[in-house]
Structure 1
Amino acid sequence: MDQLNADLKVAIVHEWLESYAGSERVVGELLNVFPQAKVFSVVDFLSEKERAFLGGRKVTTSFIQKLPFARKHFRNYIGLMPIAIEQFDLSGFDLIFSSNHAVAKGIITGPDQYHISYVHSPMRYAWDMQAAYLRQSGLEKGAKGLFVRWLLHRLRNWDVRSAAGVDVFVANSCYIARRIKKVYRRDALVIHPPVDTDEFVPPTTAASRDAYLVAGRQVPYKRVDLVVEAFRRLPNQKLIVVGDGPENEKIRALAAGAPNIVLRGKVPHAELISLMQNARAFVFASEEDFGITLVEAQACGTPLVCFGKGGAADIVREEGDPEGETGILFQEQTPEAIIDAVNRFETLRGNMTSERCRQNALRFSRPAFREHIRKLADHVMAEGC
C-alpha cells in the first residue's frame, strides 16, 4: 500500500452483515487495500466461520442490531434503516466507502471528506422491480399492500435525496451504471467486482467438454426452466443441471423423460468447479446485475452461452471482438433463443479456446479490482472530485 493510502483515515460502510456473499467479497477486497479501515454496518449477524474477511475487526453497528427479533427479521426494519445509517459518526475519517444496495450510501459526511459509493444496485424493490416484488410477496392488494407502497414511496424519496451526499458513484457493471443514471441522474465509474480467479482455474488434464452446464439456485428469475426446456428439444446435446430451490419440482417435471438431461441437485463446491472445468459451455438465462458465476466459468476455461442483458454484456466477448470470442449472447428469454444460441455455439466453439476464456476472466480478478480501487482513491484524494 502506498504512503498516501496508508495515511488515510478510512471508513467502510456496509449494508448489513448476514452471510459472506458477493457484496461482502467487495468489502473484503476494500479491506485488503485499506487495512487501517474501520467497518460500519446496520447489523452484524455473521457467523464465526464467515468472518475471516474482516480480519478480526470489530464492526460498529446501528441501533437496529438490538431491536426485537432483529437477528432473523432485520429486513422488516427497512423503514428505519435510513435513520439508522444517518446516525453513524464518521466525522474523523478522510475517505468513506459505502457498499450499497439499499441504504449504505445515505451516510452523512462533511465538506472536507470524500464519499465513494460502490453500488451493487439501487434498491431494486423500490424502483423498477417494485411491481414484481409486490406480486411475488402477495402485496398487490389490501391494507398491508397499501402500507408497503407508501413505505417504498418514502424510501424512493430518501434514496434520491441521499444520492446528493455521494462524491463518486462506482457501479459494478455498465448495466448498474445505467440504472444509477436513470434513478439518481448521476454518472458512475464502472469497476467490476472481484472474482477469485486463483480458485477457479482450467483443468490440469484434458477436459471432457461433452456436456453443457447450468448451475444456480432454482428460483423464478434464474430461468433455469427455459434452459431445461431448450435442451428437451436438443436431444443430441447433454445438459447437467446443478442446484436446488423453490423451482426444483418444476425443473424435475420438465426434465422427466429427457435422457440427455442430468439433474445433480446441490453439489459440493469442489465438484462444481470440476463440472465447470469440464463443461462444453456454461448456460445462463438470467438477467443479473453482474454475474460472478459467469466469470468463474470463464476462469475455468469454459465458454458461455447466456442472456445478453445485465452484466453478462460486460463479460462475454462475442464474435468479431479483437481479443477473440469467449461466448454467445442471446437476446430473448425463450427456449427458442437458447436453442439458436447453442446451435451458433456449436458452429463457433472452435474459436473459443480455454486460454481465451481464461484471459478474459483475469480482467475481473481480485488483484485487478484492488488496483482499480487504489487508483481511484489516489485520484480522489490528490485531485478531489
Structure 2
Amino acid sequence: MNRIAIVHEWFTTMAGSEKVVEQICHLYPEADVFAVFADPDMVSRTRFLQGRRLRTTFIQDLPKARTAFRSYLPLMPLAVEQLDLSGYDLVISSAHAVAKGVLTGPDQLHISYVHSPIRYAWDLQHQYLRESGLDRGLKGWIAKWMLHKIRLWDYRTAAGVDHFVANSRFIGRRIHKVYGRSADVIYPPVDVDAFELCADKDDYYLTASRLVPYKRMDLIVQAFAQMPDKRLVVIGDGPEMPKLKAAAAPNIELLGYQEFSVLKHHLQCARAFVFAAEEDFGITPVEAQACGTPVIAFGRGGALETVVMSPDPAQATGVFFPEQTVESLVEAVRVFESHPEGFRPEVCRRHAERFSVDQFRQSFSAYVTARVTEFRESLR
C-alpha cells in the first residue's frame, strides 16, 4: 500500500486509545493522520504527532470547541464524512465514536481498530443518560432522539469497514451484537517495561482510577470500610471524591491525584490491586501485574482476559468477584487471602508481558500485512 491514512476521533488527552494510535503511527511513519478535533496544546507536546501531517474537521473551528468539543457530538458524523481520504490506499481507523464512519471506495482497504462501539449510544445509553441527568424531561427526549439517529448512522457505516479488529474478546462480542460483524482480537499495547517487578509486598491493598461513577470506586471503599483490619490506599481524583471521603474509614487512605512515580511505587508494593469496573480492556490491572502484583477484579468485561483465576500457582494472577456488591468484594478478599499457595510475582509479570508494546506491534503489523496481501490479490 503506497499511501496510508490513520483516523482517530480526537486528540485531547493521552489515554488508552491514543496509545494505540501512537503505536500504529510508529509502525507507519509515513502515514497521514486525521481527526475530528485536535487540541493544539496536546499536539505540540505529543511526540508521535509532531512533524506529521495532521488534518482535522470543521469542528476544530467552532466556538468553544477547545473546551467543549464533546457538545458537538451530533455534528461529528457529518464532520468525519467530510474528511477526504480518496487519495489513500489503506485507511486505519481507531474508533470509539465516529472514526470508522470515514468514506472509502471499493479500491481502498479500511481496517478499523475498535476500542468499543459508541458506548453511550448502544448498551450503555441508559446509564449515560441517568448519570448525565438526561433520563427525563424535554432535554432527555432530545438526547434520546439524537442517540437514536447516531445508532442508525453507526450501524450503516459499519458496512464501509473491510475488517474489524477488537481490543478484547468482550468488545468483539459487542461488535457482533451491534454490527452483526465478526472481529479479530489484538490486545492494546501496555507499557509493561515502565513497571519493574517487585517481589517485596507491603500489607495494603491498592486501587487507582479516575473517580467517576462507572469505575465503582465507591464500592471498593465501602467494602474495605467493613474490613477495618485491612488497609486500603486509593489513588485518583474526580467528581466522586466527596462521596468517597464520606464513606472512608480510618483504614482507608485517599491520596488523590499522584504523579506516575508515586503510582508505580504503590503498584509495586501493594499486596493486591483492586478493580471494580466493567471495562472494555482495562490497562491498570495489567500494569499492576507487570509489577508482580496480583489483582482482585470484578469478573466481567476485559478483566476476564487480563487476569487469571486458577488453583495452579504457576498460572494464577488474581481472583474475581461475580457481582458489583460490597458482599461479593469482601468475599473475594477472603478468597484471595486464603489462596493455598499465594500468588507469585514472577507469574504475574510473565502474564503481563503478553500485552506488551512489542507484542502489539508484531501482532498488528502482521495482521495488516496479511489483510493487504489478501486485498491486493482480490483486485487482480
CA distance in 2, matches of 1:308, 1:321: 18
SS in 1 for 2:262: helix
Root-mean-square deviation (Å): 1.6
Write the mapping of 1:179-218 to structure 2, written as runs, cut at 5 A: 179-203=174-198, 207-218=200-211
1:72 aligns with 2:63: no
How many Å apart are 1:105 and its aligned residue? 0.2
Write the deviation string for residues 83-118 of structure 1: whole angstroms up to 9, x where unpaired: 111111112212111010111000111112111101
CA distance in 2, matches of 1:239, 1:140: 35
Instruction: Find the partner of 2:23 among 13, 19, 29.
Output: 29
Aligned to 1:162: 157
Instruction: Find the partner of 1:86 among 66, 81, 91.
Output: 81
AA aligned to 1:276 is L
Write the deviation string for residues 294-334 of structure 1: whole angstroms up to 9, x where unpaired: 11111111000010111101101111469611000111001
SS in 1 for 2:372: helix
CA distance in 2, matches of 1:302, 1:322: 14
Write the deviation string for residues 109-146 of structure 1: whole angstroms up to 9, x where unpaired: 11121111011111111111111122222222222222
SS in 2 for 1:164: helix
Contact 2:313 2:342 in 1 (8 A): no
CA distance in 2, matches of 1:121, 1:349: 37
Contact 1:19 1:46 in 2 (8 A): no
CA distance in 2, matches of 1:66, 1:128: 32
How many Å apart are 1:236 and its aligned residue? 2.1
How many Å apart are 1:149 and its aligned residue? 1.4
Aligned to 1:372: 363
Write the mapping of 1:1-385 to structure 2, written as runs, cut at 5 A: 8-48=2-42, 50-203=45-198, 207-255=200-248, 258-320=249-311, 324-348=315-339, 350-384=341-375
Write the deviation string for residues 140-191 of structure 1: whole angstroms up to 9, x where unpaired: 2222222221111111100000000001111111111111111000111111
AA aligned to 2:96 is H
Contact 2:313 2:341 in 1 (8 A): no
Contact 2:313 2:344 in 1 (8 A): no
How many Å apart are 1:71 and its aligned residue? 1.4
SS in 2 for 1:47: helix
Contact 1:282 1:305 in 2 (8 A): yes
Write the deviation string for residues 185-206 of structure 1: whole angstroms up to 9, x where unpaired: 0111111111111111213xx5
CA distance in 1, matches of 2:228, 2:91: 54
Write the deviation string for residues 60-82 of structure 1: whole angstroms up to 9, x where unpaired: 11111112221122212111111
CA distance in 2, matches of 1:347, 1:45: 49
How many Å apart are 1:53 and its aligned residue? 2.5
**Which shifted more, 55-64 or 162-171?**
55-64
How many Å apart are 1:377 and its aligned residue? 0.9
| Change in 2 beyond 3 A, CA 1:46/1:322 | farther
SS in 1 for 2:193: coil
AA aligned to 2:233 is I
Question: Taking every aligned residue pair, what percent have the same amino acid on both sides?
Answer: 54
Contact 1:19 1:47 in 2 (8 A): no
CA distance in 1, matches of 2:313, 2:223: 31
How many residues end up aligned between the 2 structures? 375
AA aligned to 2:206 is L
AA aligned to 1:19 is T
How many Å apart are 1:56 and its aligned residue? 2.3
AA aligned to 2:126 is A
| Change in 2 beyond 3 A, CA 1:156/1:369 | same
AA aligned to 1:120 is H
| Change in 2 beyond 3 A, CA 1:46/1:286 | farther
CA distance in 1, matches of 2:313, 2:368: 31
Return 5+ residue gaps in structure 1 as ranges.
Answer: 1-6
**TM-score under structure 2 normalisation?**
0.95
CA distance in 1, matches of 2:277, 2:344: 24
Write the deviation string for residues 229-254 of structure 1: whole angstroms up to 9, x where unpaired: 21122222211111222111221121
AA aligned to 2:296 is V
SS in 2 for 1:43: strand
CA distance in 2, matches of 1:167, 1:215: 37
Q: Which runs of 4+ in 1 moved over 6 A?
A: none
CA distance in 2, matches of 1:115, 1:253: 49
CA distance in 2, matches of 1:29, 1:263: 34
